Amino acid sequence: MRYGENKERSAELLRLVLPLMAQQSAAFHPLSYTLWYEHVAGVNPSLSRVLSAHLQTGSPLTEQEVHRLHAQHVMARDVEALERLQEQLRALLAETARTAANAGVEAGQFGQALEQHKAQLSEASGVDVSHMVAELLKETVRMQATTQSLTEKLQASAQEVSTLNERLQRAQTEALIDPLTGLKNRRGLERALADTFGEAAPLPGAALLVADIDHFKKINDTYGHLLGDKVIRAVAQVIHDNIKGRDIAARIGGEEFAVLLPETSAQGAAALAEQIRVAVSRGRLHRGEHDEVSGSVTLSVGVAVGRAGETLETLMQRADEALYAAKKGGRNRVHEARSSAAPRLN
């Protein structure tokens, strides 16, 4: 999105945004600033409704909520704009092809009609009209040549449009992928969900894992962001290596991941979560010239199984609550969301 505010207006928005950001738990980073900038500028009504609700309740936004809101209300809007442009290009390409084809057909039919009329006029009047018709035929040939030239130009333009369309498709795909890990991002998870379950996206029979790297801020503060990024990539690789088939893995926040498991029972989901947790806990942090071992990485995982008519948002909320319980219970563990049975800590 292009912002239309001038320097004076943007300075005023900055003055309004900073106090709002200061009320939140999230850090002062570009994603958070974008949310509050668009809110006070009044350019994102759906986002403003969510943020206004948070302000009324006095509930500060966490880092995870900032990443989610940014994916839902900022990135999703830009992806949708790309998709609309892509659809318009496809329609233009199809219409161009039809126009060129129709022009060629009509020119050919006109030439055939002139030939027929030439013979009929000569027979009916006895007058030699061949010269006049020959001139008309000559014009027809010229028109056909012009049409052919136009067709070739349109084909060249169509190729350019096709190339642009491919670039837009790549941009669209990249907008659904987390660049650090290669997993899907929040928007990519939502798109994959829609492709799997349809527009209504009911989730009965599907399970969701939400995993968070324990004490990740301490890892960053102690070892630096470069090692922190390596940890995130390593955890993403473990998750990727342990899923299969139609399972969908995504990085949905700074150090938070989600795995959607179609047609998976609570027992199966908990078993996979435990498998991932154990695999991550076996890894070790290495640093320095001698690659000395400096510590380990652990995961806390929340597990929830979808109910009839449930959306990703409500399923995510229940999995988040289970994740919070895992953190509160001591971290490096799996916790299942409350169902008809009592919750269980692994």
Q: Do the domain assignments include residue 25?
A: yes
- Whether 267 shows a pLDDT value over 80: the answer reads yes
Say how far apart CA 187 and CA 176 lie, in whole Å: 6
The residue with greater pLDDT, 124 or 307, is: 307
Whether 190 and 145 share a structural domain: no
Q: CATH no. for residue 191?
A: 3.30.70.270
Whether 44 and 143 share a structural domain: no
Whether 280 and 196 share a structural domain: yes
- Whether 135 shows a pLDDT value over 60: the answer reads yes
Whether 193 and 318 share a structural domain: yes
Distances 6 to 74, 137, 147, 284, 323 between C-alpha atoms, Å: 21, 61, 48, 50, 44
Q: Encode pLDDT of 25-72 as tens digits.
A: 888 988 899 999 989 888 888 888 889 888 888 888 888 788 888 877
Confirm whether pTM is higher than 0.85.
no
pLDDT, position 294:
62
pLDDT, position 305:
92
Q: Do the domain assignments include residue 1?
A: no
Of 1-5, 77-81, 238-242, the poorest mean pLDDT is in 77-81
Q: Do the domain assignments include residue 344?
A: no
Say how far apart CA 217 and CA 64 lie, in whole Å: 13
pLDDT, position 219:
87
- Whether 125 shows a pLDDT value over 50: the answer reads yes
Q: Encode pLDDT of 204-261 as tens digits.
A: 678 999 999 999 988 888 888 888 899 999 999 999 999 988 899 999 988 999 999 9
Whether 44 and 83 share a structural domain: no
Q: Do the domain assignments include residue 68?
A: no
Residue where a domain terminates, one of 128, 154, 175 = 175
Asked if 37 contacts 48 with a C-beta cutoff of 8 angstroms, the reply is: no
Asked if 66 contacts 26 with a C-beta cutoff of 8 angstroms, the reply is: yes
pLDDT, position 342:
39
Q: Do the domain assignments include residue 246?
A: yes
Of 105-114, 120-129, 292-301, the poorest mean pLDDT is in 120-129
Nearest to 212 by CA among 266, 270, 254, 268: 254
Question: Can you give the residue range of the structural domain that contains 191?
Answer: 186-336
Whether 157 and 295 share a structural domain: no
Our count of domains for the chain comes to 3
pLDDT class for 115, splitting at 50, 70, 90? low
Other C-beta atoms lying within 10 Å of the C-beta of residue 112:
10
Catalytic residues: 255
Q: Do the domain assignments include residue 159?
A: yes
Whether 167 and 205 share a structural domain: no
Pairing mode, strands 256-261 and 292-296: unpaired
- Whether 293 shows a pLDDT value over 50: the answer reads no
Whether 222 and 289 share a structural domain: yes
The residue with greater pLDDT, 84 or 260, is: 260
Q: Encode pLDDT of 136-164 as tens digits.
A: 667 677 777 777 777 777 777 667 767 76
pLDDT class for 344, splitting at 50, 70, 90? very low
Q: What percent of the chain stands above pLDDT 90?
A: 27
Whether 248 and 316 share a structural domain: yes
pLDDT, position 341:
41
The residue with greater pLDDT, 311 or 110, is: 311
